[in-house]
Amino acid sequence: MSAPALELAGVTVRFGGVTAVDSVDLSIGAGEVVALVGHNGAGKTTLVELLSGALARDAGEIHVNGRAAALRSPRDAQLAGLATLHQHLALADNLDVVANVFLGHELRARSGLLDERAMEDEARALLERLAPGFAALREPVSQLSGGQRQLVAIARALRLHAKVLLLDEPTAALGPGERGRVVELVARLAAEQLAILLVSHDLETALAVAHRVAVMRRGRLVAVRSREELDAASLSALIVG
Amino acid sequence: MPRSAVVGAPSPRTRVRAMLVALAALWLALALLSGGLFLSPRNLVNLAVQASAVAVMACGMVLVITARQIDLSVGSVLGFTGMVIAALQAEDGLLAAPLPWPVALLAGLALATAIGAWHGAWVAYARLPSFVATLAGLLIFRGAAWLVSDGRTLAPLAEDYVRIGGGPSGTIAGVPLPVLVLVATALGVHVLATRTRFGRHVFAIGGSPRAAELAGIDVRGVTLRAFALSGALAGVAAVLTTARLGAGTNSMGMQAELAVIAAAVLGGTSLAGGSGSVAGAVLGALWMQSLENGMVLLDVTSALRQVIIGLVLLAAVAADARARKSAT
């Protein structure tokens, strides 16, 4: 058995006297989807910020594919193989889809200039894998729907060889029609052996796609249950405590 | 396809086309009013030479504004480095033994680049608003320009150097050297803006600083380099200006920052950041210089010229804001 894709041990974050994340232990295997649920202020967002490299931890170990990850900056997290999709997707609205997929990692031809054709080909192949028929490669992302923007952000993560995908409230900004597509997409990404941590208020989506559900309350991880042990009522009960 | 609430900008190509139409209309009007004098070859050459210094600086300003910053110092940096270039090569300048002009020129360009980077450092690393950092630069280097020579005009400059200013002996195949310098600069900055990582990152920062940061872009380094480029191009403009005047004078570049910013904005560079075009800025500079030049031919007084240029700028930007809104 190889090491889990993501492993947290005793991870703790304090803000002054408040312990926002309190010795959390959690591991996620490749191809596994874990939903992280809890009330506002339970520590979910702090945990996401920590894993995205935007926030330092006060204690604890984090391993990605068995290797210790420092996560001192967003770039650090990227290099470790952790990709975060923030709720308000961090895309440059004025640039097109191809430019956003390659943002910060643009390909260059031998001349030193941007290799637009290579980037377009690779972006097309990536997006074709995620959403067959995606055609808007040269549209500014400001012109795309919420679901299409999500695809662009995921394509960027895949291009950087992410091992672990953190989805922060992926359904919050979407219409009801697009929710089903997120569920499908998450299942497809898991089938490609990505480990996925899905942070959501949306219990329906969490139960629809997760293999296991982790519940946070006041900074602590109070329960981790497999999907089969749960239904909407028992999950709500765990969240309230 | 659903459209977002983001205010869309007309594409750069549409913008450049609109600027060409506006320039043709202005030229036609001025030709009619001046009885053809405006379109005489001599006047057009004059016009191009006059516009080149502002247009060169506008190329750099496009990138600074696109990255959500502003550079108010360019006119003073032009004045200061121009005085230094003159003082290094003139007989009664700073040195007992004047330097050969190419050395003076390169020293001036290096100095201007360093000043630009210095402004960039205050903005990117000390986190000062660029309006304040470069306003300070405007004052510092205007004063420093005076201090170089205690306010004296420095002349004459080397004969070969003065050719760069585009006099009768300063042409290649009939094209004045300042125009060639402008064309080379505009092509270079256009490629930098559209075909390199640096340019792509400038636009990304202007579109969303947070997205750029999270994508691992070195936002501070890119910002510093944009200011260094703006400074370097103020140095190029200083060379064109001193060579054209055949002297270093205290009024060089005074209020040029306003013409430069106006050219960039007329050319479609958004003060909100994230969109801009080098070709548009060059056309913007040419358009403003045409208006100025045409009014001189028509004997409009300098006071009235200022009023008219101000009003035209206001009208142009207001029309632009409406076009952007309706583009959404």
CB-based contact A104 B216, cutoff 8 Å: yes
Domain spans of chain B, in order of start: 36-321
Q: Using a CB-CB distance cutoff of 8 angstroms, which residues of chain A are in contact with residue B213? A: 74
Residues A141 and A174 in one domain: no
Last residue of a domain, one of A117, A132, A161: A161
Which strand (E) or helix (H) includes residue A149? helix A146-159
Residues A167 and A200 in one domain: yes
Of the candidates B2, B9, B200, which has its C-beta nearest A145's C-beta? Answer: B2
Residues A106 and A9 in one domain: no
Nearest chain B Cα to A76, which residue? B216
Residues A47 and A70 in one domain: yes
Q: Please, which pLDDT band fits residue B324 given cuts at 50, 70 and 90?
A: confident
Residues A68 and A173 in one domain: yes
Residues A77 and A187 in one domain: yes
Using CA atoms, how far residue A123 sits from A4, A154, B62, in Å, is: 29, 11, 29
Residues A1 and A76 in one domain: yes
Average pLDDT over residues A120-124: 96
Q: Give the β-pairing of A82-85 and A195-199.
A: unpaired
pLDDT at B328: 52
Q: Please, which pLDDT band fits residue A87 given cuts at 50, 70 and 90?
A: confident
pLDDT surpassing 50 at residue B8? no
Measure the CA–CA gap between B60 and B269, rounded to whole angstroms: 12
Domain that holds residue A126: 89-161
State percent of chain B over pLDDT 90. Answer: 83
Closest Cα to residue A161, out of A24, A49, A64, A29?
A64
Q: Please, which pLDDT band fits residue B325 given cuts at 50, 70 and 90?
A: confident
- Count structural domains, chain A: 2
CB-based contact A92 B211, cutoff 8 Å: yes
Last residue of a domain, one of A108, A126, A161: A161
Which of B13, B190, B197 to mutate: most A Cβ within 10 Å? B197
Query: In the CATH scheme, what is the code of domain B36-321?
Result: 1.10.3470
Q: What one-letter code names the amino acid at B20?
A: L
pLDDT at B295: 96
Query: Helix/strand/coil (H, E, C) string of chain B?
Result: CCCCCCCCCCCHHHHHHHHHHHHHHHHHHHHHHCCCHHHCHHHHHHHHHHHHHHHHHHHHHHHHHHCCCCCCCHHHHHHHHHHHHHHHHCCCCCCCCCCCHHHHHHHHHHHHHHHHHHHHHHHHCCCCCHHHHHHHHHHHHHHHHHHHHCCCCECCCCHHHHHCCCCCCCEECCEEHHHHHHHHHHHHHHHHHHHCHHHHHHHHHHHCHHHHHHCCCCHHHHHHHHHHHHHHHHHHHHHHHHHHHCCECCCCCCCHHHHHHHHHHHCCCCCCCCCCCHHHHHHHHHHHHHHHHHHHHCCCCHHHHHHHHHHHHHHHHHHHHHHHHHCC
Average pLDDT over residues B182-211: 97
What pTM does this model have?
0.90
pLDDT surpassing 50 at residue B301? yes
pLDDT at A89: 79
Q: Please, which pLDDT band fits residue B327 given cuts at 50, 70 and 90?
A: low
Residues A117 and A188 in one domain: no
Domain of residue A7, CATH code: 3.40.50.300
Q: Please, which pLDDT band fits residue A1 given cuts at 50, 70 and 90?
A: low
pLDDT surpassing 60 at residue A150? yes
**In this predicted model, which residue has the larger pLDDT, A226 or B7?**
A226
pLDDT in tens, B19-49: 999 999 999 999 999 999 999 999 999 999 9
pLDDT at B227: 98
The rounded mean pLDDT for chain B is 92
Closest Cα to residue B176, out of B89, B240, B85?
B240
Residues A68 and A180 in one domain: yes
Chain-centroid distance, C-alpha B266: 13
pLDDT at B1: 30
pLDDT at B168: 86
pLDDT at B7: 35
Average pLDDT over residues B203-222: 93
pLDDT in tens, A58-68: 999 999 999 99
pLDDT in tens, B215-260: 889 999 999 999 999 999 999 999 999 999 999 999 999 999 999 9
Average pLDDT over residues A110-128: 95
The rounded mean pLDDT for chain A is 91
Q: Please, which pLDDT band fits residue B165 given cuts at 50, 70 and 90?
A: very high
CA angle, B218 as apex, A173 and B81 as ends, to 5°? 130
Last residue of a domain, one of A132, A161, A190: A161
Q: Using a CB-CB distance cutoff of 8 angstroms, which residues of chain A are in contact with residue B203? A: 92, 94-95
Q: Using a CB-CB distance cutoff of 8 angstroms, which residues of chain A are in contact with residue B214? A: 52, 54, 74, 86, 90
Residues A95 and A202 in one domain: no
pLDDT at B10: 56
Nearest chain B Cα to A116, which residue? B195
Which string of b and e fits A156-185 if b means at least 16 CB within 10 Å?
bbbbbebbbbbbbbbbeebeeebbeebbeb
pLDDT at A172: 83
